[in-house]
């Protein structure tokens, strides 16, 4: 039996008859954001197949209930083109490993140099207790958020969205590990340092129960974009930065501690990249010509819900500011900065601040 050219083409099934750049030897099959495609775009755009872009057949693999490999129903947000998103930091596998390796090397150097110089023994005793109990508790928040993002990334509709969420998860989990290793190592130089105190405070101390509630609400969401949104646009400015920048990094030097800010500072740099990526994605969705109004209503609901939990969590943390012997900043000052931060974030994406 003879086979027509059209039948022969359809039997391949995993391609398209005509696509952007199909007549070019460079195979530029997508529209780059700038004039020329970046290496990041080459490595992430359209990596997974999509029947709406180039495939002749439907999804190659589906779940037993008929749900396709990737589904737009995994978030209540709508987009006229999910493939439009490009991460601001343009991070993909190789660049992510390089950056993480650099940060890990820096943190390890800080720890080694600090211990060699005997720095932990010069920390104020009240400050040592703060690090033991409260920085030790906070690492559990970072681990919970990282775990939430690890689950969320699987459900992003495109590889670009998945990459941004997955690298975010990796940074969170690495920082949780940084804190664990840092406290374990300086604890070797501090008599009576209780390595289990942080977990006890995380589980039982009223100061941390609002934070636990906020983190667990994020982890319990079944909408992957809500998890990503709530972490970077709500929890981080109102709770994460409040504790890291507004407390630890402000107070540490006055307690004779120049090591902890270097370790914690790596997380602040992580957040700037993750925030930029999230703002880019949410701005794209709130300004979508077809679905922008729907998305703004949805996101304002998420902002109000998670904002209330984050405000409660922040208020519960207030007693920590009274613990250091030398006080150089107040909770009110730190909270004012966090309010300004979330106001600026909401203004960027066109939402109402909680």
Q: What is the pLDDT of residue 2?
A: 47
Q: Is the pLDDT of residue 15 over 60?
A: no
Q: Which of 18-22, 70-74, 230-234 has the highest mean pLDDT?
A: 230-234
Let me know: does 184 contact 108? Beta carbons within 8 Å.
no
What residues have CB less than 8 Å from 215, skipping those under 6 apart? 141, 144, 145, 148, 235
Tens-place pLDDT, residues 303-318: 999 999 999 999 999 9
Q: Is the pLDDT of residue 45 over 60?
A: yes
DSSP, res 297: H
Q: Which of 163, 169, 311 is nearest to 237 (CA)?
A: 311
Tens-place pLDDT, residues 231-249: 999 999 999 999 999 999 9
Tens-place pLDDT, residues 122-174: 999 999 999 999 999 999 999 999 999 999 999 999 989 999 999 999 999 99
Q: Is the pLDDT of residue 21 over 80?
A: no
Domain ranges, ordered by start, for the chain: 88-349
What integer best gives the mean pLDDT of the chain? 91
Kindly indicate the confidence band of residue 3, based on its pLDDT and cuts at 50, 70 and 90: very low
Q: What is the pLDDT of residue 18?
A: 62
**Mean pLDDT, rounded, for 281-308:** 98
Q: Which of 168, 103, 172 is nearest to 142 (CA)?
A: 172
The C-alpha atoms of residue 198 and residue 138 are separated, in whole angstroms, by: 8
| 3-class SS of residue 50 | strand
CATH tag for 88-349 (out of 1.10.620.20, 3.40.50.300, 2.40.50.100, 3.20.20.140): 1.10.620.20
């Amino acid at each position: 039996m003879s086979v027509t050219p059209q039948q022969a083409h359809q039997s391949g099934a995993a391609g398209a008859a005509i696509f952007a750049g199909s007549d070019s030897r460079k195979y530029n099959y997508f529209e780059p954001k700038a004039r020329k495609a970046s290496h990041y775009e080459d490595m992430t755009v359209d990596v997974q197949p999509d029947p709406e872009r180039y495939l002749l057949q439907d999804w190659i693999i589906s779940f037993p209930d008929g749900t396709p490999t990737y589904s737009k129903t995994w978030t209540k947000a709508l987009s006229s083109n999910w493939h439009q998103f490009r991460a601001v930091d343009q991070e993909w596998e190789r660049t992510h490993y390089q950056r993480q390796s650099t940060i890990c090397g820096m943190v390890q150097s800080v720890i080694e140099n600090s211990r060699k110089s005997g720095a932990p023994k010069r920390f104020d005793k009240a400050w040592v207790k703060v690090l033991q109990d409260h920085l030790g508790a906070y690492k559990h928040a970072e681990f919970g958020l990282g775990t939430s993002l690890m689950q969320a990334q699987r459900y992003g509709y495109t590889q670009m969205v998945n990459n941004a969420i997955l690298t975010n998860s990796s940074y969170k989990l690495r920082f949780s590990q940084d804190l664990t290793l840092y406290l374990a190592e300086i604890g070797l130089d501090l008599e009576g340092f209780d390595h289990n105190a942080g977990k006890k405070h995380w589980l039982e101390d009223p100061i941390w129960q609002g934070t636990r509630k906020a983190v667990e609400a994020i982890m319990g969401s079944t909408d992957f974009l809500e998890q990503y949104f709530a972490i970077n646009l709500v929890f981080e400015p109102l709770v994460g930065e409040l504790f890291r920048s507004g407390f630890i990094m402000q107070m540490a030097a006055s307690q004779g501690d120049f090591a902890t800010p270097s370790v914690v500072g790596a997380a602040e740099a992580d957040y700037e990249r993750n925030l930029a990526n999230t703002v880019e994605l949410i701005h794209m969705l709130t300004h979508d010509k077809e679905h922008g109004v729907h998305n703004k209503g949805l996101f304002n609901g998420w902002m109000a819900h998670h904002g209330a939990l984050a405000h409660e969590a922040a208020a519960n943390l207030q007693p920590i500011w009274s613990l250091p012997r030398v006080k150089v900043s107040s909770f009110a000052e730190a909270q004012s900065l966090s309010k300004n931060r979330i106001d600026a974030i909401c203004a960027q994406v066109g939402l109402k601040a909680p």
